Chain A
């Protein structure tokens, strides 16, 4: 993954929500059948739940993540725009 600040003195840093988006992508949460609960995401990423909730909310507002309700629990996965966003970071 790119070092976001590399070589660009006035350059940007990759926001936390995009780091999370990349992780969700790499874990494989790229379609509804492979969506993950907050608990599962927390286990994969070792991030605490309140921080995750806030970042996921941001990603939802940006249209990069959506959720489905399964047995009363919200399960998250990337949208097409979310996948494209990640690929644009990696290429």
Chain B
């Protein structure tokens, strides 16, 4: 099939899970002999066109700007449309695949122009990300999400909890929505790592515990509750060090929270680090904490499972489907520092049990979360969309 994928982020423009999802899916579709064209936004230092392992990537500059976020989104969609117009003169697409509301305008326009089916993947919703609709922009984004789901022939989500959420919130017919879990590149997660030198690089000494938290520094990731768990964990494990990986607009606030715990010196904020460094950190840590309050899927938990680090996660959204409590990881209550500390203690206090959890997690991962499986299910959705 000839697939036109639209995403506002694609490597090296990587922030959340969408870029990784699109890259993994696009490459797996190419390996399955499909012709995949990704139309996305530009990023400094990246070419406007490149062939990435068979995936044709078109990066588009937004030549006009505006300070307002929604106006900017509308403007970049116009430039995506222009680029797609050029491409569609040379390629006859079978299906358009839009990822989230940010590229919905261009996707819907081209659906009508090309008279081809449009598939929409909803990676998260505004009402979930913002934990409610609290501003005019939020209401507008919520409306665009509904409209994109209405225009789409099929809607894909990455977890059953997301399916329930969007069917309920957008009143979508249950059978219009397909659940296709995310996946990860297991080989990338099994890179050889010198744990000692990684730990030393981040100030974790011999015999000290390394407690890791990976996620964007935004409220939905619940990092605040992880930080508030630090004094409780440190009481039992005074030698523990806490590494927080990620960037986001609430970093200043979180650093303030860290300061208020009285354990600031034990907490390191790394900021943005490369994918390879995230894997090295996960491979070197004693425990990975995923304290999200809203998580449509939770790819970071999968990455942790693949690297062999024991995972402690909030029992919310997609995480509740990725992890089996006390079999492939430990569940804790969201927004609850005491519960997070309890979960970390379950791992740090029982090495054999933690090892058993990671073995089970790896087994489950290999069976369920491969990009080949995701690509196969996605092609089925494309076929259904084509009617």
Contacts and interface: CB of A to CB of B under 8 A. Distances in A.
Interface string A56-70: 000000000000000
A28 B253 contact: no
A50 interface: no
A81 B44 CA distance: 11
Given A27-B67, A89-B218, A6 B13 contact: no
B130 interface: yes
A27 B134 contact: no
Interface stretch (B151-159, B243-251, B276-284, B362-370): B243-251
Given A84-B15, A88-B247, A3 B135 contact: yes
B15 A7 contact: no
Nearest to B66: A26
Contacts of A52: none
Contacts of A45: 67
Q: Of A1, A10, A91, which is in contact with the most chain B CB atoms at under 10 Å from its CB?
A: A91
B252 interface: yes
Q: Of A2, A6, A31, A45, which is in contact with the most chain B CB atoms at under 10 Å from its CB?
A: A2
A48 to B, nearest CB: 15
Contacts of A28: 62-65
Contacts of A3: 130, 134-135, 137-138
B263 interface: no
A7 B134 contact: yes
B196 interface: no
Interface in B224-257: 224, 246-250, 252-254
Given A26-B65, A30-B44, A88 B253 contact: no
Give the interface size class of chain A: 35 or more
A38 interface: no
16 contacts: A3-B138, A6-B219, A7-B219, A12-B250, A14-B249, A22-B69, A44-B67, A80-B45, A83-B43, A85-B247, A88-B15, A88-B246, A88-B249, A90-B69, A91-B16, A91-B18
A33 to B, nearest CB: 10
Interface residues of B, number: 41
A73 interface: no
A11 B62 contact: no
B109 interface: no
A87 B249 CA distance: 10
B216 interface: yes
A26 B72 contact: yes
B272 A81 contact: yes
Contacts of B134: 3, 5-7
B65 A11 contact: no
A55 interface: no
A51 B187 CA distance: 50
B122 to A, nearest CB: 14
A6 B138 contact: yes
A23 B71 CA distance: 11
Contacts of A5: 134
